Amino acid sequence: MEMLYSSTRSNEKKVKASEAIIKGLSEDGGLFAPHHIPALDKSLKELADMTYQQVAYEVMKLYLTDYTEQELKSCIEKAYDSKFDEESIVPLAEADGAYYMELFHGPTIAFKDMALSILPHLMILAARKNQVKKEIVILTATSGDTGKAALAGFADVEGTRIIVFYPKNGVSPIQEKQMVTQKGKNTLVVGIHGNFDDAQTGVKKLFADSGLEAELAGKGFQFSSANSINIGRLVPQICYYVYAYGRLLGEGKLAEGEKLNVVVPTGNFGNILAAFYAKCMGLPIGKLICASNENKVLYDFFRTGTYDRNRKFVLTSSPSMDILVSSNLERLIYRLAGGDAARNREMMAALNGQGSYEITEEMQEGLSDFYGNYASEQETAAEIKRLYEDCGYVLDPHTAVASAVYRKYVEETGDTGKTVIASTASPFKFTRSVMHAIDGKYDNMEDFALVDALSGLAGVKVPRAIEEIRTAPVLHRKECEVDGMKDVVKEFLGVKCEKKF
């Protein structure tokens, strides 16, 4: 059956997967959502015998139906290859009664590599399929990890340019160094004077600017997105939940059909939404545990049914979760509303206008698959220290948030069922926070000395991604105000900017 997609804000137009990928965001500001969630057509036992690449094909073929088998397998083969430092792609580490699904073995040592390694290949094919002659301009806002992963994926890819906006002073030193040292003639990295929500809102405004769209089209450019709002990002994320279940089943750690709880440190809601889609496909997932840091807008939403971004923005040690507008939640709201685009559009308009919306009691009942909680900065640091001292296993701050929330879930519910925790970043990306949590004696060391200290402490080799940036020159120094993002884009593309008097 062909899979079609429509906007979460309008049911009028249906598009194929390749069209949704090339557009990134619908013209009406909505996200592309699949018309139905397909069922897995391979048994759990069959999946248990597959490699990561084979599982990825079995999942993606159900969503990306206008790609041929050969095209899809070629994209997967190019994406999940030797640039990952683990042959299994996604190893599972058992520690303290849970399985940590390590999603950070790709080229930029964060889970974003899992989708952004394949997105450029899917997008270039999509452009060919849809006779796109214009140069594709990838426009991305990042809270830390998406930016580098997207830059690495699209650097020097013919027919594309990529512009990444990140919150200056709102990412870790290692995250920033990874981005600003990025090579590639088609790349631009810009630090904005604001937070991630400012960057994300600014990018959405550029996508919605019809005048800018027409102006750039006249110059041979077309916008697309590498953010998690792109369905080409979301679909590959489903794969690792299916793979993890199959792996545990194959190793005899799960019985066939036994439910597996999933814990996800959550910011923009894409990663946990992928787990929800996997459950809807028939994967035996029990509870979906949504872990927030002190920007606990999702925790409050799950408890009250009201999404309210009108609150203080907190800079934490887990910056990729420092988000108050979780864009991918819109896809879940659309589903809870029974695919009623008009109803969803009203709620998103309320969020954009007054900064909040409230779902109905009936919709709230549809959230029964989820559990939400949060961890404070103190609890996050304590969890890093505890797990290191008890098990010798070192977590990054995002995974530590998830681990701390999982402990709260068990204490609150008594549910000790098998559980996978999404480990979304290498601790080497956040060495200062990690080493401070373990022992304050490391506080006065410089960043790369901390890297070496962490390597010795954890007994883990320094990742290639870190070694590469030790002495790499800074190539991107651009900064701007939020209202200057449009001019930065036009300048990079060689489009004349309006003079300001």
d(CA 163, CA 170): 18
Tokens of 328: 């991918």
d(CA 446, CA 454): 12
In which residue are the tokens 């600014």 written? 202
Residues 300 and 310 sit within 8 Å (Cβ to Cβ): no
Tokens of 93: 């580490």
**Phi and psi of 411, rounded to 5°?**
-65, -40
Q: DSSP of 43-78, one letter per residue?
A: -HHHHHT--HHHHHHHHHHHH-TTS-HHHHHHHHHH
Task: Look at residues 150, 175, 200 and name the one whose alpha carbon lies nearest to residue 323.
Answer: 200
Question: Which residues are part of the catalytic machinery?
Answer: 112
Tell me the three-class secondary structure of 480-499, residue by residue: ECHHHHHHHHHHHCCCCCCC
Task: Look at residues 160, 126, 139, 136 and name the one whose alpha carbon lies nearest to residue 20.
Answer: 126
Cα–Cα–Cα angle for 489, 145, 40, rounded to 5 degrees: 110
Q: In a 10 Å sphere around its CB, with 0-12 CB exposed, 13-18 middle and 19+ buried, how is residue 221 labelled? A: buried
Q: What is the distance between the terminal CA atoms of the chain, rounded to a whole angstrom? A: 57
Residues 166 and 192 sit within 8 Å (Cβ to Cβ): yes
Strand partners, 15: 5
